[in-house]
Amino acid sequence: MVRKILHYPDPELKKKSQPVTVINEKTRELVRDMAETMYAAPGVGLAAPQIGVHQRIVVIDVSGKDEPPMLIVAINPVFIHTEGESYEEEGCLSVPGYAANVRRHEMVVVKALNLDGEEYTCKAEGLLSIAFQHEIDHLDGTLFVDHLSTLKREMFKKKYRRMLESGEIKE
């Protein structure tokens, strides 16, 4: 089922998500809904709090248009290693109509559980690395616009408010 994606400045997006303690049929249903919602948007990643569920779960698929889908499910993801720097443009399904460059690590190694409760590690670079960092941020109530300089964030807020008022985007 495609769920409603919460939009900035919804306060639910600022809340910290809790670790998943039991992986059961409800978890699998939630992950199915998250993947459907992400693909329908379409987007390359979605975190549970974006649909109002404060559990530490993210789904990511950075496969290209002509490639087969490659869904990554990360439950209770943590970084065990980070390296380098990148500065690439990002957007977010919860911040429609806005994109900006964000400083991130070039490479990350993530440890997480899959839907069978098995631990795995994933070394990610490029878009996948950025997606992991962006989505895991959501679990701590952080949006990509929170990484902008004060000046750029003020510009973002003004632009976003105008888009909300003009009905270009909806709250």
How far apart, in whole angstroms, are the C-alpha atoms of residue 133 and residue 84? 13
**Separation of alpha carbons 88 and 124, rounded Å:** 15
Under the binding rule (CB under 5 A), the answer on residue 48 touching Ni ion is: no
Shortest distance, CB of residue 163 to Ni ion, whole angstroms? 17
Q: Is 135 a catalytic residue?
A: yes
18/61 Cα distance (integer angstroms): 23
Distance CA 67, CA 102 (A): 27
Instruction: Report the relative pairing of strands 107-113 and 119-125 from DSSP bridges.
Output: antiparallel
Stretch that binds Ni ion, among 7-15, 88-96, 125-133, 147-155 (CB under 5 A): 88-96
Q: Contacts with Ni ion in 13-42 (CB under 5 A)?
A: none
For the beta carbon of residue 127, count every other beta carbon within 10 angstroms: 16
- Specify the 3-state DSSP secondary structure of 39: helix
**Catalytic pick among 89, 135, 154, 168:** 135
Cβ proximity to Ni ion: between 72 and 92 the closer is 92
In this complex, which beta carbon is closest to Ni ion, that of residue 23 or of residue 137? Answer: 137
Q: Which of 92, 108, 131, 148 is close enough to bind Ni ion by CB under 5 A?
A: 92
CB of residue 118 to Ni ion, shortest distance in Å = 26
User: Which single residue is written with the structure tokens 């408010």?
Assistant: 161
User: Min. distance of Cβ 24 from Ni ion in angstroms?
Assistant: 26
The residues that touch Ni ion, with contacts defined as CB under 5 A, are 92
Give the residue numbers marked as catalytic.
135
